């Protein structure tokens, strides 16, 4: 690693005063500002400056009082890896499949450069500490001057401006599996209308507030270090969360809780001409985290490559305000879904292309981290939820529309109400235009031919406009489309066959006239992803004897991981018909996954075994206390030394 050692950073041989003096001589007075990005994980704006009276976040509040607060800021994905792909590349993950899925390995096209590469070429010294999680084949060590837990702006060579990204994991999802003391108690919190009001759920909400309080102290620590180093007057500070929060129906879900993030920009007086507004001001415009890399390039005066679609929020060229912020959900860990959404800051429109799958699909990591999910699921299985609380575990509507001003919990779906028809139509049209503009890759089954930024632009393989129409008809679940779906099972385009089969699956028993055509697909289609969907549809038509052996074969080696996950997902949703798969499931559940490899297959197998054997207990999904402690230790991030009297003032 280049630069200073961890020992030196912590006050070793060079000493804190010497480090600060070196840093001040090196970067103070530069002709370009330094840039400090402070990034917190899994955050809704449970922050005082955003109007949350329960939050204890004095340092972020003070930063907002000196800067510009973006009230309607959103991640494009409600989970870290796709969101961080966009933050690094400036490319919407949906444009470069499989980057839109959680935990994938997309290929960044040759010749495309990430923002740190562009800034380094322009003379900036670029540091990232430590989280990457870029969801693509970029080598973090190759794109940063310093990458890892030792990274700090003090490693910048004299006379060179820096870009330093410091990530804190204190509010990450794994923080919810252990106790967290703080100012907020369970009695203090408000329970959203979609959740049952129980002591367990109240405790998790309080734990999250207290994690936010601890994270705010870390932000304050970093800002104090910057001040003590004499660099505050020459450093633009950008604070943001990488995706929405982790409380139930937040992370992984396309509601405000999953997509809305804090975003605060502070520009010191010397660089006020680069600021997005006056100090202590608020921007109401909807923005997304795709605007962050565009803004970093704009601060440095670096031209924005055409593949980066965000609008600069500050810098030498500030983009025109936009009307909408768009978001999405695709595969989250081991569970598939396909959701697209748009908001103008007042209204949120959601389109569910897989309404036959509930929001509340069991995700092993999600359930393990939070007692609140386990409690919610257990009360659902016991029949002790109201209809509003139980909606999370039921089939979804094709479309949802919420008035965020009147209904911040997003529980009153206004689709179909005459008064909201115009809003729904406007947002629906905007969503369609955006999906076409970015070449949304989401209608291509994961692992199929055609994945990739340029590959998916081949309309012979991926006729996007036709697929959007077909997927909407499938999700509408109208039997009037039966003959169309049946005819399209013979299409030469695999993605069209896939969505035709999915349309028949969602019709359920009404798809009976297509039984013979589905059996032909089951036996003869060359694309395994299409056969998975056909098999699940056939089980619903009484053809389990033919379909289940196909799903069992597709869930096993040598099939690629996406196909195996899709087959196991289908087996999960066919109920008792999956019982012949038990021998395979028992073998798969016993697999030991190598470090760094995804464990989706054993997770899916173990859960399905418990369902089939009648032993599933949501409350038993928690990881042991020692496992939680080890997980949090492994995710501990270097914060640097606390401010002290030894620092120069």
Confidence of residue 24 (pLDDT cuts 50, 70, 90): very low
Rounded CA gap, 130 and 119, in Å? 18
Strand pairing of 162-168 and 34-40?
parallel
* pLDDT tens track for 562-574: 999 999 999 999 9
CATH number for domain 6-319, candidates 3.40.50.620, 3.40.190.10, 3.40.50.300, 3.40.720.10: 3.40.720.10
pLDDT of residue 215: 97
| Fold annotation for 483-638 | 1.25.10
Share of the chain above pLDDT 90, in %: 88
* pLDDT tens track for 67-114: 999 999 999 999 999 999 999 999 999 999 999 999 999 999 999 999
Start-to-end CA distance of the chain, whole Å, equals 30
DSSP for 507-522 reads: HGGGGGGGHHHHHHHH
CB atoms within 10 A of CB 505: 27
Beta strand spans in 71-228 (E): 73-74, 125-129, 146-147, 162-168
Confidence of residue 647 (pLDDT cuts 50, 70, 90): very low
Helices 464-476 and 494-507 pack at an angle, to 10 degrees, of 10
Would you say residue 3 has pLDDT above 80?
Answer: no
Quick one: which of 314, 311, 316, 310 has its CA closest to 275?
A: 314
Burial level of 454, CB count in 10 A (0-12/13-18/19+)?
A: exposed
Rounded CA gap, 244 and 172, in Å? 10
Verify cis geometry, omega within 30 degrees of 0, for the bond prior to 542: no
Rounded CA gap, 111 and 471, in Å? 33
Quick one: which of 120, 183, 168 has its CA closest to 146?
A: 120
The DSSP output letter for 137 is S
* pLDDT tens track for 439-496: 999 999 999 999 999 999 999 999 999 999 999 999 999 999 999 999 999 999 999 9
pLDDT of residue 633: 61
C-alpha dihedral (358, 364, 370, 371), degrees to nearest 10: 80
Instruction: Calculate the alpha carbon distances from 488 to 153, 165, 541 in Å.
Output: 58, 49, 19
* pLDDT tens track for 43-54: 999 999 999 999
C-beta of residue 189 within 8 angstroms of C-beta of residue 381:
no
pLDDT of residue 15: 34
C-beta of residue 186 within 8 angstroms of C-beta of residue 208:
no
Share of the chain above pLDDT 70, in %: 92
Rounded CA gap, 362 and 60, in Å? 35
Would you say residue 268 has pLDDT above 70?
Answer: yes
C-beta of residue 408 within 8 angstroms of C-beta of residue 256:
yes
Instruction: Calculate the alpha carbon distances from 289 to 91, 235, 496 in Å.
Output: 11, 20, 32
Query: What is the average pLDDT score of the chain?
Result: 92
Residues 612-627: what's their mean pLDDT?
A: 88
| Sequence spans of domains, the chain | 6-319, 483-638
Residues 383-400: what's their mean pLDDT?
A: 98
Helices and strands counted in the chain (H then E): 23, 15
Confidence of residue 631 (pLDDT cuts 50, 70, 90): low
Would you say residue 16 has pLDDT above 60?
Answer: no
Would you say how long the chain is, in residues? 649
Confidence of residue 595 (pLDDT cuts 50, 70, 90): confident
pLDDT of residue 634: 53
C-beta of residue 402 within 8 angstroms of C-beta of residue 414:
yes
Strand pairing of 34-40 and 260-261?
unpaired
Would you say residue 139 has pLDDT above 90?
Answer: yes
Q: In what order do the strands lie in the sheet with 263-266?
A: 146-147, 125-129, 162-168, 34-40, 235-241, 263-266, 68-70, 281-283
Dihedral sign of CA atoms 538, 539, 543, 548 in order = positive
* pLDDT tens track for 350-366: 999 999 999 999 999 99
Lowest mean pLDDT among 11-20, 57-66, 336-345: 11-20
Quick one: which of 319, 311, 324 has its CA closest to 285?
A: 324
DSSP for 28-82 reads: TT-SS-EEEEEEESS----SGGGT-TT---HHHHHHHHTSEEETTEE-SSSSHHH
Would you say residue 10 has pLDDT above 80?
Answer: no
DSSP for 248-270 reads: TT-TTSSSHHHHEE-EEEE--GG
| Phi, psi angles (nearest 5°) of residue 126 | -115, 125
> Residues of 312-342 as b/e, b for ≥16 C-beta within 10 angstroms?
bbbbebbbeeeebbbbbbbbbbbbbbbbbbb
Rounded CA gap, 360 and 425, in Å? 27
Calculate ∠ Cα 204-207-211, nearest 5°: 140
């Amino acid at each position: 690693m280049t630069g200073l050692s961890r020992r030196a950073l912590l006050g070793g041989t060079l000493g804190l005063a010497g480090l600060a003096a070196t840093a001040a001589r090196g970067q103070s007075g530069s002709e370009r500002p330094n840039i400090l990005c402070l990034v917190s994980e899994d955050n809704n704006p449970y922050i005082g400056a955003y109007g949350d009276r329960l939050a204890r976040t004095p340092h972020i509040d003070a930063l907002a009082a000196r800067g510009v607060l973006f009230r309607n800021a959103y991640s494009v994905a409600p989970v870290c890896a796709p969101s961080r792909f966009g933050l690094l590349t400036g490319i919407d993950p949906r444009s470069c499949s499989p980057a839109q899925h959680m935990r994938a390995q997309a290929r960044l096209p040759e010749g495309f450069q990430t923002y740190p590469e562009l800034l380094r070429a322009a003379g900036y010294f670029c540091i990232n500490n430590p989280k990457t999680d870029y969801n693509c084949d970029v080598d973090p060590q190759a794109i940063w001057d310093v990458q890892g837990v030792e990274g700090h702006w003090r490693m910048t060579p004299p006379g060179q401006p820096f870009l330093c990204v410091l990530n804190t994991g204190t509010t990450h999802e794994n923080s919810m599996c252990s106790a967290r003391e703080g100012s907020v108690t369970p009695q203090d919190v408000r329970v959203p209308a979609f959740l049952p009001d129980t002591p367990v759920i109240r405790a998790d909400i309080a734990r999250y507030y207290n994690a936010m309080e601890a994270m705010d102290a870390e932000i304050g620590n970093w800002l104090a270090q910057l001040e003590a180093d004499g660099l505050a007057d020459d450093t633009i500070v950008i604070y943001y969360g990488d995706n929405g929060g982790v409380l139930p129906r937040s992370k992984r879900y396309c509601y405000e809780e999953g997509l809305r993030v804090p975003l605060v920009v502070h520009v010191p007086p010397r660089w006020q001409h680069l600021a997005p507004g006056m100090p202590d001001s608020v921007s109401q415009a909807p923005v997304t985290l795709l605007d962050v890399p565009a803004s970093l390039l704009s601060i440095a005066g670096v031209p924005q490559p055409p593949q980066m679609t965000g609008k600069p929020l500050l810098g030498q060229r500030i983009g025109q305000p936009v009307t909408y912020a768009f978001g999405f959900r695709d595969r989250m860990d081991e569970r598939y879904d396909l959701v697209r959404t748009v908001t103008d800051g007042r209204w949120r429109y959601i389109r569910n292309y897989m309404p036959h799958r509930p929001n509340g699909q069991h995700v092993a990591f999600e359930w393990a981290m939070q007692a609140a999910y386990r409690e919610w699921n257990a009360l659902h299985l016991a029949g002790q939820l109201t209809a509003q609380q139980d909606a999370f575990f039921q089939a979804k509507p094709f479309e949802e529309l919420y008035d965020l001003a009147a209904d911040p919990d997003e529980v009153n779906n206004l689709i179909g109400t005459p008064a909201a028809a115009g809003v729904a139509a406007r947002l629906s049209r905007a969503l369609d235009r955006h999906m076409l503009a970015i070449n949304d890759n989401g209608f291509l089954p994961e692992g199929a031919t055609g994945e990739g930024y340029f590959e998916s632009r081949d309309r012979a393989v991926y006729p996007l406009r036709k697929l959007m129409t077909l997927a909407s008809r499938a999700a509408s679940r109208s039997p009037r489309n039966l003959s169309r779906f049946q005819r399209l099972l013979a299409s030469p385009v695999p993605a069209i066959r896939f969505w035709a089969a999915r349309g028949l699956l969602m019709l359920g028993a009404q798809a009976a006239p297509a039984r013979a055509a589905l059996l032909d697909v089951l036996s003869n289609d060359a694309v395994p992803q299409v056969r998975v969907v056909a098999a699940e549809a056939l089980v619903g038509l009484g053809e389990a004897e033919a379909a289940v052996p196909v799903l069992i074969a597709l869930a096993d080696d040598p099939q690629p991981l996406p196909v195996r996950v899709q087959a196991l997902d289908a087996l999960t949703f066919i109920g008792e018909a999956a019982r012949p798969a038990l021998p395979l499931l028992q073998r798969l559940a016993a697999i030991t996954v190598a470090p760094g490899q995804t464990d989706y297959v054993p997770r899916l197998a173990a859960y399905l075994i418990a369902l089939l054997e009648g032993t599933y207990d949501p409350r038993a999904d928690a990881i042991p206390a020692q496992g939680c402690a080890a997980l949090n230790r492994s995710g501990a991030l270097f914060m640097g030394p606390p401010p002290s009297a030894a620092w120069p003032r």
